[in-house]
Amino acid sequence: MLPLLTFVLSITIVITVYYSGLNTLNNSLENNIEQVGQLTSKEFANILNSDIGKLENLKNRIEFTNGMFLNYWEKDAELLIEQTQSFKFLEWIDSTMVIKKISPLAGNENALNLDISTVKYRREEWIKHSKINQTNITPWSELTQGGHAFLVDVPVYFNNHFQGTISAGMDFKTNFAKFSSSLNDFYAIELYDHTNTLFFKLNTNKKLNNPINYNIKILVDSLDNQAWTLKLFPTNKFKLTNRRELTSITLIIGLLFSLLISLLVYFYLRIRNERRLAIQSNNKLLVANKKLFKERKKAEKASSAKTEFLSNMSHEIRTPLHAILGFIELLKDSKLNKADKEYLDLMEKSSSNLLNIVNDILDIDKIESGKIELSEVKFNPVQKIKELIEVNQFIFLRKDLYLKAKYKKTNNLTVLGDESKFIQIVNNIVKNGLKFTDNGGVTLVYSEKITKSNKLHIKIAIKDTGIGIPPNQLESIFERFKQIENSVKKQYEGSGLGLAISKILVNMMGGDIRVKSIPNIGTTFKFDVFFPIIDNQDEKPQDQKLKTTANLADLNVLIVDDNNLNIIVLKKFLESFGVTADTANNGLIGVETFKQNQNYDLIFMDIHMPIMDGWEASKEIRKLDEDVIIFGLSANVTTEAIDMALENGMNNYLSKPFKKEHIAKLLQFHFSH
């Protein structure tokens, strides 16, 4: 009886301990699954919000620029699709619910010009979310162009009106799978949209036949209270001792009692270890997020410091340059012998080179900070190219080189675009050919054709007979501060920014630039740009050369500047037009002088002055007189400085150094009849 009782007791103890341990294991498993489920749901929500946030950032740029950014939003769309795997395509849906733009177009042609009001599951939610300016997420949907995706609509408002939505076809499965890979196959995941459609699953074929699982809702649309459902299951890696095997091992259960306890402890510790790893992963994510936040702040401070440095550097260099170039221009009008004129030409060339380097650096800074924009004026491209060739002929002849132009298939049309930046591109490449060519010269070939979308497609090839570019350096020729090699860089002047700026501007105009070169034979640059053709070709571009009928000698002028050299140069310029001027050495004296004599017609106001700067002085003068013309003067050419000048009441802005002809044009514009 005792052995039997012992056996029965042993069996009872073993079974009791087994079921007790199994219950403990199941409870631990439930807690573990719950914690992993919460962590997974939070990470999935972070992925969702992060990816949709990038789309909303694109919307913010469009609204900030009052829609101007829509003209070249495709570049941002391409970057988003390239950098974020969740984006399959991006669309612009206008306020009539028609898809007007889509990127990439290839593979999505069927969706272009689609009226989404005819799509049952799109119309009501799109309209409802657009009215209250809230992002909308559709169910997992079958697309017109094939395949499935979530359609995310971000309403865009500018000019106080709803304009349309930036919409994206998004599939988060790749990013979800990346995070889920850290779960080491211990869990199976099922993710359903708010219509209970399964769109993501992981390890579902390995689910443990166990009632333990964890469900949680991920809110994706607070307006409609729509949420995704995340279901988490343990996989067969958590497989426990099969109860059916218990009968067959009853006889040895007593002998293996201690081993069984050890195994139960082992399983328990293993589950706890997985829980610890999950918590560690979460902590690492938190640390990484904090580190990224700190690095972003550092980058923002560095960018701000760089902009401030460039602004100060520009001001400190351009201010003395203004005086130097001004005196050079004044001296050129005086009687000089041949040697003095040559020295003066060399001084002007060196000063102009320094000014060009400063301008190139500022252009690059504007491009990097996203503050450079394309203007729209009416101009004739082929006529501007002819003028550029004519202007540059002399500097080529001085170097015993030729500058030729060939025109093929020209239409002599007027277009709408950024004339100055178009000429800047061509001039940069032509001057590059002049710089690196000692024999022969440069040939420009110009051709154009009209596209089906009524745009003028301009192709330009510029070939020189210069030193050429080694094949291993062709790919880096458009990089910033790059020249062929150190020895060449010392021999030839320049900042190394001209080609980099040209490439960026060409891309902004919808074109591309390429280069071919043979060392010691020559180099050929080819690029193309696109400009809209204006409808009324009889309306020609305005001639900027206005004729004045005003008697400038009758003008009462006040110059406010703390730099005596700048005052002397400006007074000499004005005297050449028959204008005499009063002066003040800072903003406070300028305001007092104006109060004593409010008959001034024109004030030249420097920006950076002691005691009272030009912005504050202009604001004070505007309180006394709304009509007096104020021209801002500064070596600071940043967009912020110009905007601040206009906000404080200045009528126009002259950036130092300026030439006498700039003064003449402003006087003609403001005082011509």
Quick: pLDDT tens for 586-644.
999 999 999 988 788 899 999 888 899 998 999 999 998 888 899 988 877 666 777 78
The predicted pLDDT at position 548 comes to 41
Q: What confidence tier does 544 reach under pLDDT thresholds 50, 70, 90?
A: very low
- Phi, psi dihedral angles at 44 (to 5 degrees): -60, -40
Among the listed residues 655, 660, 663, the one whose alpha carbon sits nearest the alpha carbon of residue 311: 655
pLDDT for residue 520 is more than 70: yes
Compute the distance between CA of residue 656 and CA of residue 635 in angstroms, rounded to an integer. 5
State mean pLDDT over 27-39. Answer: 81
Dist. CA 633–CA 642, nearest whole Å: 10
Residue 485 has pLDDT above 60, yes or no: no
Region 239-263: mean pLDDT is 52
What is the per-residue pLDDT across 365-398, written as a single tens digit (0 to 9) for each?
Answer: 555 555 567 778 899 999 989 988 887 787 788 7
- The yes-or-no verdict on residue 243 having pLDDT over 50 is no
The 3-state DSSP class for residue 121 equals: helix
pLDDT, mean of residues 66-84: 84
Q: How much is the average pLDDT of 532-541?
A: 76
Half-sphere exposure of 582 (CA within 13 A, CB side): 20
Report pLDDT for 160: 86
Spatial contact of 477 and 499, defined as CB atoms under 8 Å apart: yes
What number is the average pLDDT over the span 240-250?
Answer: 44
3-state secondary structure of 267: helix
Beta-bridge partners for 391: none
The pLDDT of residue 634 is 80
Q: What is the 3-state secondary structure of 531-558? A: EEECCCCCCCCCCCCCCCCCCHHHCCEE
Query: Is this prediction's pTM over 0.85?
Result: no
Q: Which of 290-299, 379-388, 399-408, 414-423 has the lowest mean pLDDT?
A: 290-299
Residues 436, 424: Cα–Cα separation, whole Å: 18
Please check whether residue 497 is in contact with residue 481, taking contact to mean a CB–CB distance below 8 angstroms.
yes
> How sure is the predictor about 248, in pLDDT bands with cuts at 50, 70 and 90?
very low
CA distance 638 to 310: 9
**What's the whole-number mean pLDDT along residues 38-66?**
88
Q: Which residues contact 16 (CB under 8 A, 6 or more apart)?
A: none
**What is the mean pLDDT of the segment spanning 448-457?**
92
- The 10s digit of each residue's pLDDT in 191-230 is 999 999 998 888 888 887 766 788 999 998 888 888 999 9
pLDDT band at 571 (very low <50, low <70, confident <90, very high): confident
Q: In angstroms, rounded to a whole number, what is the distance separating the alpha carbons of residues 113 and 97?
A: 9
pLDDT greater than 70 at residue 648: yes
For residue 249, the model assigns a pLDDT of 55
pLDDT at 244: 37
3-state secondary structure string, 7-46? HHHHHHHHHHHHHHHHHHHHHHHHHHHHHHHHHHHHHHHH
- Give the pLDDT band of residue 162 (cuts 50, 70, 90): very high
State residue 435's pLDDT score: 86
- Please report, in angstroms and rounded to a whole number, the separation of the first and last CA atoms in the chain: 129
State mean pLDDT over 89-106: 91
Whole-number pLDDT of residue 460: 94
Residue 534 has pLDDT above 80, yes or no: yes
Q: What pLDDT does 459 receive?
A: 94
**67-83 average pLDDT score:** 84
Which of 41-50, 310-319, 322-331, 385-394 has the weakest average pLDDT? 310-319
pLDDT at residue 490 tops 50 = no
Stretch 138-147: mean pLDDT, rounded? 87
Percent of the chain with pLDDT over 70: 75
Contacts of 62 (CB under 8 A, 6+ apart): 69, 70, 73, 156, 158, 166
pLDDT single digits (tens) 337-356: 766 666 666 666 566 556 55
Of 318-322, 333-337, 620-624, least confident by mean pLDDT is 318-322
Q: Stretch 483-497: mean pLDDT, rounded?
A: 48
How much is the pLDDT for 533? 92
- Residues 544-560, mean pLDDT to the nearest whole number: 66
| Partner residues linked to 531 by β-bridges | 456
How many beta carbons lie within 10 A of that of residue 596, not counting itself? Answer: 6
pLDDT of residue 14: 65
| Ranges 173-187, 311-325, 399-413, most confident | 399-413
Reported confidence tier of residue 242, pLDDT bands at 50, 70, 90: very low
State the average pLDDT for the chain. Answer: 80
Q: What is the pLDDT of residue 237?
A: 73
pLDDT of residue 477: 79
Which class for 156: exposed (0-12), middle (13-18), buried (19 or more C-beta within 10 A)? buried
Q: From CA 617, how far away is CA 591, in angstroms rounded?
A: 6
What does the pLDDT read at residue 565? 81
pLDDT on residue 221? 87
Whether residue 269 is predicted with pLDDT greater than 80 in this model: the reply is no
